[in-house]
Amino acid sequence: MFQVRIHGRGGQGVVTAAEMLSIAAFDEGRYAQAFPSFGSERTGAPVVAFCRIADKEIRLREPIMEPDALIIQDPTLLHQVDVFAGLKKDGYILINTNKSFEQLGLGDFVRDWPHDRLCTVSATDLSRKHVGRPMPNVPLLGGFAAVSGVIRLESVIMAINEKFSGKVAAGNIAGATEAYEIVRAAMEAARGEDKESAHA
Amino acid sequence: MSLQPIKFYQTGTFTVGNRLLAPDQRSVQANMKRTNSLNSGHRACQGCGEALGARYAIDAAMNATKRQLIAANATGCLEVFSTPYPETSWQIPWIHSLFGNTAAVATGMAAALKVKGKTDIRVVAQGGDGGTTDIGFGCLSGMFERNDDVLYICYDNGGYMNTGVQRSSATPPAARTATTMAVGAEPGNVFGQGKFVPAIAMAHEIPYVATATVADLRDLEYKVTKAMGLRGARYIHILVPCPLGWGTASQDTIRMARLAKETGVFPVFEAEHGEVTAVLKIRKRLPVEEYLRPQKRYAHLFGKQPRVDTIAHIQSLADKNIRKYKLLEEGIQ
Amino acid sequence: MMDKPFAITLNPGSSLANHTGSWRTTRPVYVDRLPPCNATCPAGENIQGWLVHAESGDYEKAWRSLVENNPLPAIMGRACYHPCEGACNRNRLDEAVGINSVERFLGDEAIKHGWKFDAPAKSTGKRVLVIGAGPAGLSAAYHLQRLGHQAVIYEAAEHAGGMMRYGIPKYRLPRDVIDAEVQRILDLGVEIHLNTKVANLADTMKEGFDAAFLGVGAHIAKRAYIPAGDADKVLDAVSVLRGMEGQATPLLGRRVVVYGGGNTAIDVARTAKRLGAEESIIVYRRTREKMPAHDFEVEDALKEGVSIKWLSTITEAGESDIMVEKMALDANGFPQPTGEYERIEADSLVLALGQDTDLSLLEHVEGLVTGNGIVQVDAGMMTGHPGVFAGGDMAGTERTVTVAVGHGKKAARAINAWLRGEKFAPPPKPELATFERLNTWYYSDAPKTVRPVLDIIRRQSTFEEVMGGLDEGNAQFEARRCLSCGNCFECDNCYGVCPDNAVIKLGPGNRFKFNYDYCKGCGMCAAECPCGAIAVVAEDI
Amino acid sequence: MLKQTEGSHAVAEAVALCRPEVICAYPISPQTHIVEGIGEMVKSGELKNCEFLNVESEFAAMSVAIGSSAAGARTYTATASQGLLFMVEAVYNASGLGLPIVMTVANRAIGAPINIWNDHSDSLSQRDCGWIQLFAETNQEALDLHIQAFKLAEELSLPVMVCMDGFILTHAYERVDMPTQQQVDAFLPPYSPRQVLDPAQPVSIGAMVGPEAFMEVRYLAHAKQMQALELIPKMAEEFKTVFGRAIGGLTHTYRGDDAETMVIAMGSVLGTIKDVVDEMRDAGHNIGVLGITSFRPFPLAAVADALRHCKRFVVLEKSLAVGIGGIVATNVRMAVTGMGLKGYTVIAGLGGRSITKKSLHALFDKAGRGELEPLTFLDLDWNVVDRQLERERLTRRSGPAAEAMLRDLGTVASKIA
């Protein structure tokens, strides 16, 4: 079972992201369970959403306390919420930012983390560019597909088409696709680095 | 206005009927084969104004709808005296649910009939002043606001008579009830409290609001008939004297209602979409004292030192009604 | 029927099983009370009874109901001083119901359509002598005939009608009306012998009569001593009015003085006006308040130009004038001479001081008692002599056409009983329907109809009838102003206002009945009955 | 047809497939998404012959439902928490009058302090109101139970509550198999009321009943629920033949045949419990699960039968009968009277407190060792409680407890679960 935890703020489509992730997995014929960390979500308040993906029925109802992957839609949360709580060793971390992990002050935390598990992408800029408003959630899913390989970009696109339509769908697809490409490129680069350092 | 001019000088339109009237001029109550919607054998007190008002209103509604009528009834005297197990006095399909939800129950009934395409069957809701102006007011307002296809009839006897004559928001000032006793410096119910629900109903701008009394049968029947001819939320507020609660003789029930109207204490009018369109004029104006004196609930106003001040205050309220609703001069703007 | 959940759901109208009548401590009952109009009618008419039919426009039925008691509605509708209207409860609302005008309308309708009386009961073979064809005699004859006896009228005059013809001027009572109503009575089979004066009753009875009714009236004018220079200038009212019926109308001159204060005095004064007198003056010794004549008659007279000298007596009648002494009321309200005199020019003086009866025919009738000018009778109008009855002016102090008609009816019923060897007992009178018993809220306002009145000019020159009649429309309007005091007129109020549906409606004409199974005795029906036709009585428990 | 969707939406679709005729809506979390969904279907015309009413309160919602059901319409509404409490008088009335209304309760805690998260306090507060109460473990069961609920309600002329955990199910996206209209029509006949307000057959409904008959009326209400005990399993069978799914029934056992310890619970927590039980079985513990679907009527016999082989049972419930302990537990104990079983009551997950596998492992181990207290409050923070009790002991005006304890905890936002 693969468990994803998404952190963000009310209004950034955190819950939608989890739902879409579950839809994408479902479209691949797998079982998925998405749910928010419930509360009276208000714009700006820290919000967490969860998504489990598995090949058999998911009965577990507890929140995800040991995620296999983290998607952080808002880097300002890093210093406010213990977003990394329970993150499995070598778990995936995808952050919406145009800064590096070092610039975010996470250098030490990820020092000996495999680089191909760490990834940043400025999804907000991408959504501004393609959708016209800062909604990083969907591009990040594209990025997540690339970094984790747990779901395919096609599935994300299918999910987008289930949730949205028309220009919004098209824009999100474009955003997700670009994010996917960026992250894939970055990942290949990272794997390159890792190989080299392995030889050295 | 409500009274068709009848070229009949002996009793005009004031009596229930008359052997000399043309059939179209006879009241529903005069009909030999009237429906007696509230059948004999009910357990209302002698001279019950509510029993009378209910039969007047529901017979008229049955007549207007060719008996295609179903009713919801609030808890209260009317419900208790009309349906004590194992007997009921009602001739129409009738349901009693709760004290405070009658308007909502009626809304549900209307919704069911609409979805079933049985819009020829009409819905009435009825309750006393307690069930209408107090505990049932929320549901009533909701029914008004949604303009549900229901005629709500309030039988106002100015108190919770079923539970032993307690004060309601329709209890008139200075009236003695079990919870506004005739003791202390200002005996009886407090001035400046209470509400006149017909005016609040008008504020919802529903298609039809009317007041009536059991003393003007033809006016009452006319209004019910008119209401049944309309769709949407309609409200009729009928003054029904209560011998028990008012401390009046059982034979004086209609007389008291007549006095309430003729003194201006209770304005009788019609309003459509929030505007007063017609009033039933006062025929022989009388001072409020004529209305108050026969009622034991006002006995404290006529003791050794009569409360001239209080009586004057009540008179001023009646005068205000007369001004506000133009109960005296001909025609209204 | 659907299978209903136990107890929660019930069959419609099932409360009929609960007889709430057992709660009752008082019970309502329908009654018929005596309306004040009926109570005061000298002719004993059931006025409310016939108005009911007029209300529904069934005028013939109304007329037939009326003539049960009075065979002369057309005359009554003109000559009657209608005390019924004085007693009418409607006076306390707006104005009395115009009973008299409706009665006249019905009488005129009957004449117009030639309605006949119902046929008499089968003949008893008895013959009853009726002396005098005045209102008393005609009334007695009519009732006797309808009761199956043969009435035979002996009338001294050449026409029937008595004082109605010889006492009441044309302009108040046209003669064709009298003729029509008399004829209708005769058509019933009543025999009449005109120009036949009974000189001696005892002798006439021998002609084979089983009983007799005397209604000879009062035709002898009372005289007062007034020193007169020229006696033929002084006439009496009776002969003046009687003279109006003859070929030569009496010559009264330009200035006529009438002495007296009764209706007769007024009649003469108004007649004089019509005969062309420039001045017609009534001299009366007391005040207008004290005047026996009806006020509306006085009004009419004044309107027509008659003048009246109040508090005056005539002391002397001269060649062309009379002497009048002024009077003044003393402490007790009696007029006393003042010694103050005045002279009034007069071509003639008519004395209208009342009439006496000619009782000469009664000599040698044993047992029969007379006193101060009238015959003494018992409650059944029978004189001291068994089988001899009397009525009208000769048997009463209140001398009106209506009283006479009443006497006639009363006597006829008594005679009927007497002929059968029974004692006549009048039916008990029900309780009076007083105004207090009514709930007048229910009556709509409807002022009295004004009858058309002949204009003054023509009233001063002709004998045309002064008071016009009602047309069908306003006759019905007037009838419907009746409050139906004390008698159910089926307004449905009791049926409508009963909170327990305990009043059963029996349908048009059949009124209502109470269903005591459910009547709780609240009394609302009685309280809201407009006409006071429901009484509430205590239950004995 | 399989789909990945939100629990609320799945229920909305299922209710729509039942061809409801009158729906009353009043917003309250976490039920709101359901009526929003149906409302949209009615407005778009997707759901025909249906009146959707926005009423002014839950009291009105249930009252409108009473009227429409009495007038012969298939009627549905949904509520939660304070909303259920606000309509209580009408809730009792609906069952008293025998009106087959179906209502979803998206289970949520009851204040004060106000709390919008999940537990079972709301519907369990209505355990004696005369309604049938069915609890769903998954969204699939939730939507299927609604289809059964209409049939059950209308056959018995009794109202039915379908209870599903607020947020945990209502807001969870997961796979459901949505039936076709044909299937639902085949299973659920059109509503034919036992009694209806019809001028052709007038009756008076809701007469006052005195001591002479009231006992009988109440007994009949009980008898109806006893009939439901027969009917509910039958209906599950029937449902299986049409839809091919074993859903509903009175209870479900999981690996219970040879279990020494039986864990009893209702609703979505059963899933987590089953995962724990699997792991414990792998570790060699004889532990099983009894899930109760029908809380009212309470299946005394079925529960007793399911527990007849075990040594002990643990009732884990999301409700608290303040002053005594468990509500479900009390009912279970009634069922096993005289069976000489050791019974433990565990109050868990109140007001949305997460029930984690970790805690359950520890709990069940302890139970297996027979070291569990008769009444346990799972994951209760004793420090906070003790500090507050201390505060109240020391100062009369100790201030509002909830706020004080929150201060002790520090900001909630930093906590993930």
User: Partners of D204 in the beta sheet?
Assistant: B94, C10
If you average pLDDT over residues B100-104, what whole number do you get?
A: 98
pLDDT tens-digit map of B222-248? 999 999 999 999 999 999 999 999 999
Domain around D47? 2-194+207-243
Peptide bond into D112 cis (omega under 30): yes
Label residue B274 by pLDDT band (50, 70, 90). Answer: very high
Instruction: Give me the CATH number covering residue D278.
Output: 3.40.50.920
**Count of domains forming chain D:** 3
Task: Show which subunits contact D, needing at least 3 CB pairs below 8 angstroms.
Answer: A, B, C
User: What are the helix (H) ranges across chain B?
Assistant: 49-64, 77-82, 102-115, 129, 137-145, 197-203, 217-228, 243-246, 253-263, 288-292, 308-324
Q: What does the pLDDT read at residue C1?
A: 45
For A96, the enclosing helix (H) or strand (E) is strand A92-96
Domain map of chain B by residue range? 34-324
Name the percent of chain D lying above pLDDT 70: 98
In a domain, C238, yes or no: no
Q: What does the pLDDT read at residue B2?
A: 33
Same domain, D188 and D113: yes
Q: What does the pLDDT read at residue B333?
A: 33
Same domain, D40 and D95: yes
Instruction: Provide the whole-model pTM.
Output: 0.91
Find out if CATH 3.40.50.970 is the number for domain B34-324. Answer: yes
CA distance C16 to chain D (A): 14
Nearest to C212 by CA among C355, C358, C368, C397: C368
Same domain, D336 and D409: no
Q: What ipTM describes this predicted complex? A: 0.89
Please report residues of D whose CB lies closer than 8 A to that of B80. 208
CA distance C447 to chain B (A): 10
In a domain, D200, yes or no: no
Same domain, C274 and C259: yes
Question: Phi and psi for C307 in degrees, rounded to 5?
Answer: -110, 155
| Geometric angle at alpha carbon D57, from D53 and D61, rounded to 5° | 50
pLDDT tens-digit map of B176-194? 999 999 999 999 999 999 9
Instruction: Collapse the DSSP code of C511 into the 3-class scheme (helix H, G, I; strand E, B; otherwise coil) and give the result.
Output: coil
| Contact call for A32 and D29, based on CB within 8 A | no
In a domain, C148, yes or no: yes
Is residue B155 within 8 Å of B129, Cβ to Cβ?
yes
In a domain, D269, yes or no: yes
Q: What does the pLDDT read at residue B12?
A: 63
CA distance D83 to chain B (A): 15
Residue pairs spanning A and D at CB distance below 8 A: 92
In a domain, D72, yes or no: yes
Label residue D7 by pLDDT band (50, 70, 90). Answer: very high
Q: Looking at the predicted structure, is the pLDDT value of residue D298 above 70?
A: yes
Same domain, D120 and D268: no
Q: Which of A62, A77, A83 to mutate to test the interface with D (most CBs of D within 10 A)?
A: A62
**Spans of chain A, pLDDT less than 70:** 38-41, 194-200
If you average pLDDT over residues B25-35, what whole number do you get?
A: 92
Label residue D415 by pLDDT band (50, 70, 90). Answer: low
Distance CA D152, CA D18 (A): 13
Contacts of A2 (CB under 8 A, 6+ apart): A52, A53, A54, A68, A69, A148, A150
In a domain, D199, yes or no: no
In a domain, C425, yes or no: no
DSSP letter, residue B125? E
Distance CA D20, CA D38 (A): 10
- Interface check B249 vs C, CB under 8 A: yes
Q: What does the pLDDT read at residue A189?
A: 87
Total length of chain D: 417
Contacts of D48 (CB under 8 A, 6+ apart): none
Q: What does the pLDDT read at residue D398?
A: 78
pLDDT tens-digit map of A122-179? 999 999 999 999 999 999 999 999 999 999 999 999 999 999 999 999 999 999 999 9
Instruction: Give me the CATH number covering residue C471.
Output: 1.10.1060.10
**Count of domains forming chain C:** 4
Q: What does the pLDDT read at residue A81?
A: 84
Is residue C335 within 8 Å of C309, Cβ to Cβ?
no
Distance CA C258, CA C237 (A): 8
The CATH number of A2-199 is 3.40.920.10
Question: Hey, which bits of B65-190 come out as E strands?
Answer: 69-73, 94-96, 122-128, 151-156
In a domain, D202, yes or no: no
pLDDT tens-digit map of D137-170? 999 999 999 999 999 999 999 999 999 999 999 9
Distance CA B137, CA D57 (A): 12
Tokens representing A80 are 């406010």
If you average pLDDT over residues D401-408, what whole number do you get?
A: 79
Q: What does the pLDDT read at residue A38?
A: 65
Q: Strands across the sheet with C150-154, in order?
A: C191-193, C150-154, C127-131, C211-214, C388-390
User: What are the helix (H) ranges across C191-284?
Assistant: 201-205, 237-243, 263-274
Q: What does the pLDDT read at residue C231?
A: 67
DSSP letter, residue C491? -
Q: What does the pLDDT read at residue C469?
A: 85
Same domain, C254 and C316: yes
- Interface check B225 vs C, CB under 8 A: no
- Amino acid of residue A152: R
Distance CA C140, CA C148 (A): 12
Please report residues of D whose CB lies closer than 8 A to that of A36. 167, 171
Please report residues of B whose CB lies closer than 8 A to that of D51. 111-112, 114-115
If you average pLDDT over residues B200-221, what whole number do you get?
A: 97
Distance CA B35, CA B51 (A): 14
Which residue reads 């004297």 in tokens?
B241
Same domain, D318 and D283: yes
Q: Looking at the predicted structure, is the pLDDT value of residue D80 above 60?
A: yes
Q: Looking at the predicted structure, is the pLDDT value of residue D175 above 50?
A: yes
b/e string for A93-121 if b means 16 or more Cβ within 10 A?
bbbbbeeebeebebeeebeebebbbbbbb
In a domain, D59, yes or no: yes
**Spans of chain C, pLDDT less than 70:** 1-3, 229-231
Same domain, D137 and D97: yes
Distance CA C193, CA C392 (A): 19
Same domain, C366 and C339: no
For C342, the enclosing helix (H) or strand (E) is strand C335-345
Instruction: Tell me which residues of chain C, numbers 498 to 517, contact chain B at a CB-CB cutoff of 8 Å.
Output: 499-502, 505, 507-509, 515, 517
Label residue D411 by pLDDT band (50, 70, 90). Answer: low
Instruction: Collapse the DSSP code of C220 into the 3-class scheme (helix H, G, I; strand E, B; otherwise coil) and give the result.
Output: strand
Label residue B331 by pLDDT band (50, 70, 90). Answer: very low
Instruction: Give me the CATH number covering residue C205.
Output: 3.50.50.60
Q: What does the pLDDT read at residue A41?
A: 61
Closest in B30, B47, B91 to C495, CB measured: B30
| Contact call for D272 and A60, based on CB within 8 A | yes
Distance CA D327, CA D266 (A): 12
Same domain, D90 and D182: yes
Q: Which of C4, C6, C9 to mutate to test the interface with D (most CBs of D within 10 A)?
A: C9
Instruction: Tell me which residues of chain B, numbers 190 to 229, contact chain D at a CB-CB cutoff of 8 Å.
Output: none
Domain around C502? 14-32+488-538
Query: Quick count: other Cβ atoms within 10 Å of Cβ C310?
Result: 18
User: What are the helix (H) ranges across chain A?
Assistant: 14-27, 123-130, 137-148, 153-163, 166-199
